[in-house]
Amino acid sequence: MNQFSELTWQGLWKNNPGLVQLLGLCPLLAVTTTLTNALGMSVATILVMVGSNITVSLVRQWIPREIRIPIFVMIIAGFVTCVQLLFNAYAYGLYQSLGIFLPLIVTNCIIIGRVEAFASKNAVIPSAYDGFIMGVGFSLVLLLLGAVREILGQGTLFDGADLLLGDWASILRIEFIEFEQSFLFIMLPPGAFVALGLILALKNSLNAKVEAAVVPVQIIEKPERARINKVS
Amino acid sequence: MKKIITKNGLILAAFALAVTAIVALTHQATKNEISEQERKQLLRILDQVIDESSYDNALYKHCVPVLSRQFLGRDKQQRTFIALKDNQPVAIAIETTAPNGYSGNINMLVGISKIGVVLGVRILSHQETPGLGDKIDLAKSSWVESFNNKSSNGAKDPTWQVKKDGGEFDQFTGATITPRAVVQAVNKSLSFFKNNKDLLFTSAERCGEQ
């Protein structure tokens, strides 16, 4: 089994940060009011994950075990600050609409989770790929949640896309239903919890089918981990 | 033991230094672009409250700092921008805050002509409930345009209230506190302008370099 397809499988489905590890719920629930916000958050998170995974993997042999956590946090915080400055300079509208959640990426546990669990033990290229694919897995959940909440909440898709992508993007805006009053519940955090719950339920109900379709190929390659205390 | 602690401390310091250097470099590289963006954003909003063709000075540069907790709702210095035509003041844009929004401060910019008529109001930032109070935002509803061309007879003017309180401004279904706060704040900024008109127009003070 190729390491990269294993990582892909883990990041996108088996161990999806948004749906299985349930890490980073704060941005997941807070910024997914529209698809555009979700997209901006996705880009920022992927950038930070890839950047910090690469950096940690590069310097991993110089990091003493006892002080690894403060160093990881420092590297992540540095990357987040850089991303924040870049957004401020080149995507000002989005910078404003993401608000406090952009600097709060520092506290997103997925990032330090992947740095600690993967990048600090693996070579640069797999680490970069791990950061990327875990970021994509998280982003897919963000985007799905953003789309569902935007359609149900205000009946549109890509509202405010011009803030992220420039003026031309206002043509992306699709209006499905014209609401007299937007569906407040979905726009507020409780709606996000309910929508996330439904997506989790959907994931779990599809799980058996998807695993059946993907896993048989893997089982041959990846023998079950031997347990020392197993009597057989 | 001591040796390990020293070594770890030094490593930590080295990483801190490296990370700080990277952040500082990025800051240097994006600094100009960021201030340019902020200036553009400011101009875009100024254009919405004071018609571009009515003045001929560099509006965002003619910035007079003001502070009035009573009228502008903040303990912090806020900015006013004075529009001149042929060196005569024609209008002013005042940054003001409604401290009594439904969830915290509502920051806005009020454009006022030299005779005290509202030229335009824009909400700069707020945390009002999405779907209810956020209709004060022009992106959501055209409610703020109902201030255009209005003038006030001072803080007690009965028309400067929401309709529910006997005034002439609409409230929103399910949200009265937000529009009430905005109406009050706009009225107060009008009073502030009336009381300090000459001082503002002649002031040589300028806002600090942002």
pLDDT digits (tens, 9 = 90+) for B119-138: 999 998 888 877 778 888 88
**Tokens 């397809």 sit on residue:** A5
End-to-end CA distance of chain B: 49
Torsion sign across C-alpha atoms B100, B101, B107, B110: negative
Closest CA to A65 of B15, B8, B1: B8
Find the mean pLDDT for residues A29-35: 85
Q: Please tell me whether residue B113 adopts helix, strand or coil conformation.
A: strand
Model pLDDT, residue A230: 46
**Is B130 in Cβ contact with A188 (below 8 Å)?**
yes
- Residue B131 has its nearest CB partner, among A82, A86, A182, at A182
Residue A231: its pLDDT value, please? 45
Nearest chain B Cα to A153, which residue? B131
Going by pLDDT thresholds of 50, 70 and 90, the confidence category of residue A232 is: very low
Distance CA B101, CA B133 (A): 9
ipTM for this prediction: 0.73
| Average pLDDT across chain A, whole number | 84
| A93 within 8 A of A164, measured Cβ to Cβ | yes
Q: Tell me the per-residue pLDDT of A49-100, one tens digit each, with 9 for 90 and over.
A: 999 999 999 999 988 888 999 999 999 999 999 999 998 888 887 787 777 7
The structure's pTM equals 0.75
For chain B, say whether A187 makes contact (Cβ under 8 Å). Answer: yes
CA distance A153 to chain B (A): 9
Cβ within 8 Å, pair B41-A63? no
Interface of A with B in 44-103 (CB under 8 A): 59, 62-64, 66-67, 70-71, 74-75, 77-78, 81-82, 85-86, 88-90, 92
pLDDT digits (tens, 9 = 90+) for A210-227: 888 876 655 545 555 555
CA distance B189 to B98: 10
Chain A: closest CA distance from residue B123 (Å): 13
DSSP 8-state symbol, A224 = P
Tell me which residue in B15, B30, B129 faces A74 most closely, judged by beta carbons.
B15
CB-nearest partner of A67 from B12, B20, B130: B12
Cβ contacts of B15 on chain A, cutoff 8 Å: 59, 71, 74-75
* Stretch A41-46: mean pLDDT: 90
Annotate B37-59 with DSSP letters as a single string: HHHHHHHHHHHHHS-GGG--S-T
The residues, ordered by sequence, that sit 6+ positions from A228 with a Cβ below 8 Å of its Cβ are: none
Each residue's pLDDT tens digit, B64-118: 888 888 888 888 888 899 999 888 899 999 999 999 988 889 999 999 998 999 9
Give the C-alpha separation, A122 to A130, whole Å: 10
Structure tokens that stand for A172 in this block: 């992306």
- Quote the CA–CA distance of A148 and A199 in Å, as a whole number: 10
The whole-angstrom distance between B114's CA and the closest CA on chain A is 32
Contacts A–B by Cβ distance under 8 A: 66
- Write the CA distances from B18 to A101, A105, A151, integer angstroms: 25, 20, 45
Beta carbons of A149 and A191 less than 8 angstroms apart:
yes
Tokens describing residue B90: 């024609």
The 10s digit of each residue's pLDDT in A116-161 is: 999 999 999 999 999 999 999 999 999 999 999 988 888 888 887 7
Closest chain B C-alpha to A74 CA, distance in angstroms: 7
Contact A82 B16 (CB under 8 A): no
> Rounded to whole angstroms, how far apart are CA atoms B190 and B149?
12
* Structure tokens that stand for B33 in this block: 């672009």
Sign of the alpha-carbon torsion through B50, B84, B118, B35: positive
Stretch (H or E) spanning A171: none
Q: Is A181 in a helix, a strand, or coil?
A: coil
Q: Do B22 and A82 touch (CB under 8 A)?
A: yes
Please report, for residues A150, A156, B68, B145, B210, the alpha-carbon distance to residue A175 in angstroms, rounded to integers and kept in the order given: 10, 4, 44, 24, 39
Cβ of B20 within 8 Å of Cβ of A78? The answer is yes
CB neighbourhood size of A90 (10 A): 13
Strand partners, B106: B98
